[in-house]
Structure 1
Protein backbone atom coordinates (compact mmCIF):
# COMPACT_ATOMS: atom_id res chain seq x y z
CA UNK A 1 0.00 0.00 0.00
CA UNK A 2 1.27 3.46 -0.93
CA UNK A 3 1.72 6.30 1.52
CA UNK A 4 -1.28 8.63 1.90
CA UNK A 5 -0.83 11.33 -0.76
CA UNK A 6 -2.25 14.10 1.40
CA UNK A 7 0.22 13.32 4.18
CA UNK A 8 3.15 13.27 1.77
CA UNK A 9 2.05 16.63 0.35
CA UNK A 10 1.69 18.06 3.87
CA UNK A 11 5.27 17.08 4.77
CA UNK A 12 6.58 18.47 1.48
CA UNK A 13 4.83 21.80 2.15
CA UNK A 14 6.15 21.80 5.74
CA UNK A 15 9.72 21.29 4.47
CA UNK A 16 9.38 24.05 1.87
CA UNK A 17 8.03 26.48 4.48
CA UNK A 18 10.89 25.88 6.95
CA UNK A 19 13.54 27.70 4.90
CA UNK A 20 12.93 31.30 3.76
CA UNK A 21 13.49 32.10 0.09
CA UNK A 22 16.53 34.27 0.78
CA UNK A 23 18.35 31.34 2.47
CA UNK A 24 17.63 28.58 -0.06
CA UNK A 25 21.01 29.00 -1.72
CA UNK A 26 22.55 27.99 1.65
CA UNK A 27 20.19 25.33 2.98
CA UNK A 28 17.22 23.28 1.81
CA UNK A 29 14.90 20.98 3.71
CA UNK A 30 13.43 18.16 1.63
CA UNK A 31 11.19 15.15 2.01
CA UNK A 32 12.49 11.93 0.50
CA UNK A 33 9.68 9.49 -0.25
CA UNK A 34 10.08 5.72 0.05
CA UNK A 35 7.48 2.97 -0.07
CA UNK A 36 6.83 2.88 3.71
CA UNK A 37 8.38 6.04 5.08
CA UNK A 38 9.34 9.66 4.55
CA UNK A 39 12.77 10.99 5.46
CA UNK A 40 13.22 14.68 6.18
CA UNK A 41 16.69 15.73 5.05
CA UNK A 42 18.71 18.90 5.28
CA UNK A 43 20.82 19.79 2.23
CA UNK A 44 23.73 22.21 2.17
CA UNK A 45 26.15 23.21 -0.60
CA UNK A 46 29.68 21.82 -0.40
CA UNK A 47 31.88 23.94 1.86
CA UNK A 48 34.95 23.26 -0.28
CA UNK A 49 35.27 23.32 -4.09
CA UNK A 50 37.31 20.09 -3.94
CA UNK A 51 34.13 18.26 -2.85
CA UNK A 52 32.45 18.92 -6.20
CA UNK A 53 29.11 20.56 -6.95
CA UNK A 54 26.82 18.08 -5.15
CA UNK A 55 25.04 19.31 -2.06
CA UNK A 56 25.61 17.43 1.20
CA UNK A 57 22.57 15.60 2.55
CA UNK A 58 21.92 15.03 6.25
CA UNK A 59 18.89 13.06 7.50
CA UNK A 60 16.93 14.80 10.27
CA UNK A 61 13.98 12.49 10.96
CA UNK A 62 12.05 9.55 9.54
CA UNK A 63 8.27 9.22 9.56
CA UNK A 64 7.22 5.60 9.10
CA UNK A 65 3.70 4.67 8.02
CA UNK A 66 1.97 1.50 9.21
CA UNK A 67 -0.83 0.74 6.78
CA UNK A 68 -2.56 -1.87 8.95
CA UNK A 69 -3.56 0.69 11.57
CA UNK A 70 -3.01 3.84 9.47
CA UNK A 71 -0.58 5.46 11.86
CA UNK A 72 2.68 7.37 11.57
CA UNK A 73 5.65 6.75 13.89
CA UNK A 74 8.52 9.19 14.41
CA UNK A 75 12.18 8.11 14.32
CA UNK A 76 15.38 10.00 15.10
CA UNK A 77 18.82 9.50 13.56
CA UNK A 78 21.93 8.68 15.56
CA UNK A 79 25.54 9.60 14.77
CA UNK A 80 25.93 6.37 12.76
CA UNK A 81 23.04 7.34 10.46
CA UNK A 82 20.74 4.70 11.99
CA UNK A 83 17.17 5.49 12.91
CA UNK A 84 15.55 4.75 16.28
CA UNK A 85 11.97 5.12 17.43
CA UNK A 86 11.33 8.43 19.16
CA UNK A 87 9.64 7.30 22.36
CA UNK A 88 8.29 10.66 23.58
CA UNK A 89 5.46 10.55 21.02
CA UNK A 90 3.08 7.66 20.45
CA UNK A 91 2.24 6.66 16.87
CA UNK A 92 -0.46 8.91 15.47
CA UNK A 93 -3.00 8.85 12.67
CA UNK A 94 -2.21 12.55 12.16
CA UNK A 95 1.13 13.31 10.54
CA UNK A 96 0.84 16.89 11.82
CA UNK A 97 1.47 15.55 15.33
CA UNK A 98 4.89 14.29 14.22
CA UNK A 99 5.75 17.55 12.46
CA UNK A 100 4.78 19.52 15.56
CA UNK A 101 7.05 17.35 17.71
CA UNK A 102 9.96 17.84 15.29
CA UNK A 103 9.33 21.60 15.44
CA UNK A 104 9.20 21.64 19.25
CA UNK A 105 12.22 19.30 19.53
CA UNK A 106 12.15 19.20 23.35
CA UNK A 107 15.24 16.97 23.53
CA UNK A 108 17.32 18.69 20.83
CA UNK A 109 17.56 15.38 19.00
CA UNK A 110 16.37 16.69 15.63
CA UNK A 111 17.79 20.21 15.33
CA UNK A 112 20.56 20.04 17.93
Structure 2
Protein backbone atom coordinates (compact mmCIF):
# COMPACT_ATOMS: atom_id res chain seq x y z
CA UNK A 1 0.00 0.00 0.00
CA UNK A 2 2.78 2.44 0.87
CA UNK A 3 4.49 1.72 -2.46
CA UNK A 4 1.22 2.49 -4.29
CA UNK A 5 0.90 5.79 -2.38
CA UNK A 6 4.48 6.78 -3.20
CA UNK A 7 3.96 6.03 -6.89
CA UNK A 8 0.95 8.36 -7.13
CA UNK A 9 3.07 11.52 -6.85
CA UNK A 10 6.30 12.26 -8.75
CA UNK A 11 9.27 12.73 -6.43
CA UNK A 12 9.93 16.26 -7.76
CA UNK A 13 6.65 17.57 -6.27
CA UNK A 14 6.52 15.66 -2.98
CA UNK A 15 7.48 18.82 -1.12
CA UNK A 16 4.04 20.15 -2.18
CA UNK A 17 1.76 17.10 -2.29
CA UNK A 18 1.89 13.48 -1.22
CA UNK A 19 -0.46 10.54 -0.82
CA UNK A 20 -0.42 8.65 2.47
CA UNK A 21 -2.19 5.69 4.00
CA UNK A 22 -3.61 5.82 7.50
CA UNK A 23 -4.16 2.44 9.15
CA UNK A 24 -7.15 1.68 11.34
CA UNK A 25 -8.16 -1.53 13.09
CA UNK A 26 -10.10 -2.83 10.06
CA UNK A 27 -9.58 -0.22 7.41
CA UNK A 28 -7.01 1.74 5.41
CA UNK A 29 -7.68 5.37 4.53
CA UNK A 30 -5.94 6.97 1.55
CA UNK A 31 -5.22 10.64 2.28
CA UNK A 32 -4.04 13.45 0.02
CA UNK A 33 -1.67 15.78 1.88
CA UNK A 34 -0.84 19.29 0.68
CA UNK A 35 1.80 21.70 1.92
CA UNK A 36 0.64 25.01 3.43
CA UNK A 37 0.07 27.54 0.67
CA UNK A 38 -0.54 30.68 2.73
CA UNK A 39 1.55 31.98 5.62
CA UNK A 40 -1.54 32.59 7.77
CA UNK A 41 -2.47 28.91 7.37
CA UNK A 42 0.43 27.90 9.58
CA UNK A 43 2.96 25.16 8.97
CA UNK A 44 0.59 22.18 9.10
CA UNK A 45 -0.11 20.23 5.93
CA UNK A 46 -3.78 19.83 5.01
CA UNK A 47 -5.08 16.26 4.93
CA UNK A 48 -8.04 15.25 2.79
CA UNK A 49 -9.33 11.67 2.89
CA UNK A 50 -9.78 10.33 -0.65
CA UNK A 51 -10.88 6.71 -0.21
CA UNK A 52 -11.19 3.99 2.39
CA UNK A 53 -10.68 0.26 2.09
CA UNK A 54 -12.63 -1.61 4.74
CA UNK A 55 -11.69 -5.15 5.76
CA UNK A 56 -14.18 -7.83 6.78
CA UNK A 57 -12.45 -10.47 8.86
CA UNK A 58 -15.08 -13.19 8.39
CA UNK A 59 -14.81 -13.13 4.59
CA UNK A 60 -11.25 -11.84 4.22
CA UNK A 61 -12.55 -9.31 1.70
CA UNK A 62 -11.84 -5.62 1.23
CA UNK A 63 -14.56 -3.13 0.28
CA UNK A 64 -13.97 0.25 -1.36
CA UNK A 65 -15.56 3.43 -0.01
CA UNK A 66 -15.53 7.02 -1.30
CA UNK A 67 -15.88 10.22 0.72
CA UNK A 68 -19.03 12.23 0.05
CA UNK A 69 -19.46 16.00 0.26
CA UNK A 70 -20.37 15.70 3.94
CA UNK A 71 -17.05 13.97 4.65
CA UNK A 72 -18.75 10.61 5.25
CA UNK A 73 -17.58 7.41 3.65
CA UNK A 74 -20.07 5.64 1.36
CA UNK A 75 -19.73 2.25 -0.29
CA UNK A 76 -18.47 2.48 -3.85
CA UNK A 77 -20.64 -0.05 -5.66
CA UNK A 78 -18.94 -0.19 -9.07
CA UNK A 79 -16.56 -2.90 -7.84
CA UNK A 80 -17.52 -5.75 -5.54
CA UNK A 81 -15.67 -6.58 -2.33
CA UNK A 82 -12.54 -8.59 -3.08
CA UNK A 83 -9.68 -10.37 -1.36
CA UNK A 84 -7.31 -8.66 -3.83
CA UNK A 85 -6.59 -5.11 -2.63
CA UNK A 86 -4.83 -4.36 -5.93
CA UNK A 87 -8.19 -4.49 -7.75
CA UNK A 88 -9.49 -1.70 -5.53
CA UNK A 89 -6.34 0.38 -5.95
CA UNK A 90 -6.63 -0.04 -9.73
CA UNK A 91 -10.22 1.27 -9.55
CA UNK A 92 -9.06 4.30 -7.55
CA UNK A 93 -6.36 4.90 -10.19
CA UNK A 94 -8.89 4.62 -13.04
CA UNK A 95 -11.44 6.76 -11.18
CA UNK A 96 -14.07 6.42 -13.97
CA UNK A 97 -16.61 8.57 -12.09
CA UNK A 98 -14.09 11.22 -10.88
CA UNK A 99 -15.26 10.54 -7.34
CA UNK A 100 -11.81 9.98 -5.84
CA UNK A 101 -9.52 12.50 -7.53
CA UNK A 102 -12.12 14.90 -8.96
- For normalisation by structure 2, the TM-score amounts to 0.98
Structure with bigger strand share is 2
Moved over 4 A (4+): none
Is 1:54 matched up with 2:47? no
Is 1:33 matched up with 2:18? no
State the secondary structure of the residue aligned to 2:62.
strand
Structure with bigger helix share is 1
Alignment root-mean-square deviation, CA: 0.6
1:89 paired residue number: 79
Alpha-carbon shift at residue 12 of structure 1 (Å) = 1.1
Q: How many residues align?
A: 102
CA distance in 1, matches of 2:59, 2:100: 26
2:12 paired residue number: 22
Alpha-carbon shift at residue 91 of structure 1 (Å) = 0.1
Alpha-carbon shift at residue 74 of structure 1 (Å) = 0.1
Give the gaps of 5 or more residues in structure 2: none
- For normalisation by structure 1, the TM-score amounts to 0.89
State the secondary structure of the residue aligned to 2:4.
helix
